Amino acid sequence: MKLFAVIFTTMAFATLLAVASDKPSMPAVGSVAPGFTLSSQEGTQVSLDQYKGKWVVLYFYPKDFTSGCTVEAHNFQRDLEKYTEKNAVILGVSVDTVDSHKSFCTKEGLNFKLLADPDHSVVSKYDSVMNYKGMTLAERNTFLIDPTGVVRKVYTKVDPTKHSEAILADLQQLQSN
């Protein structure tokens, strides 16, 4: 009976480890960015593959119309021309709907793409999921992806007030190397 208990406990532990290892991990610097296709605020499908040859600022944010997310989006909008000059595009991702993104962009005057991930598929691929007061939201993380599709910089626990400037500085440094 003791042997059975030991075997059962060992198998249960091994199963738990296997399940835990199935959780996607955050793409590391130097790895190929996971591909995706999501709907934008315009209702069009947007794929990461569409931006081969360009730098991509893929930023995840919790929720449309919230203070930190609005500040972060305004700063990206303010610096949009600087990103364009550096051959970079900005793609924002949250678990909000296309309609929410459309309203947010209209109200806040945003001219870059916001992508809807209501089923959490892409936020999960990028290990950028958080739970807040019983809601599943995107965690505020950003991935700077080079023109070949490789992750060159990962930003976690982002300060939305200074984030755009930090990315532009890093983009300048990466492009001068």
CATH code of residue 50 = 3.40.30.10
Residue 103 belongs to a domain: yes
Q: Residue 1's pLDDT is what?
A: 56
Q: Is residue 6 part of a domain?
A: no
Residue 13 binned pLDDT confidence (cut-offs 50, 70, 90) = very low
The predicted model gives 120-143 an average pLDDT of: 96
| pLDDT tier at 97, thresholds 50, 70, 90 | very high
Domain membership of residue 130 (yes or no) is: yes
Domain assignment present for 99: yes
**What does each C-alpha distance from 36 to 1, 4, 25, 122, 134 come to in angstroms?**
50, 46, 16, 7, 26
Q: Report if residue 16 sits inside a domain.
A: no
Is residue 174's pLDDT more than 60?
yes
Residue 3 has pLDDT above 90, yes or no: no
Looking at the 3D structure of the chain, how many domains does it have? 1
Range of the domain at 70: 27-176
Helix (H, G, I), strand (E, B) or coil at 81: helix
Q: pTM (2 decimals)?
A: 0.86
Predicted confidence band of residue 177 (pLDDT cuts 50, 70, 90): confident
Q: Which of 88, 100, 99, 69 is nearest to 163 (CA)?
A: 69
* Residue % of the chain over a pLDDT of 90: 84
Q: Are 52 and 147 in contact (CB under 8 A)?
A: yes
64 is written with which tokens? 């449309």
What sign results for the dihedral spanned by CA atoms 61, 67, 73, 75? negative
Give domain status of residue 92, yes or no. Answer: yes
Which pLDDT score, from 0 to 100, does residue 85 have? 98
- The whole-chain average pLDDT of the chain stands at 90
Give the residues across from 155 on adjacent strands. 142
Report, as an integer, the average pLDDT of 40-52: 97
- Say if 67 falls within a structural domain: yes
Confidence of residue 23 (pLDDT cuts 50, 70, 90): low
Q: Which residues are catalytic?
A: 69
10 domain-assigned: no
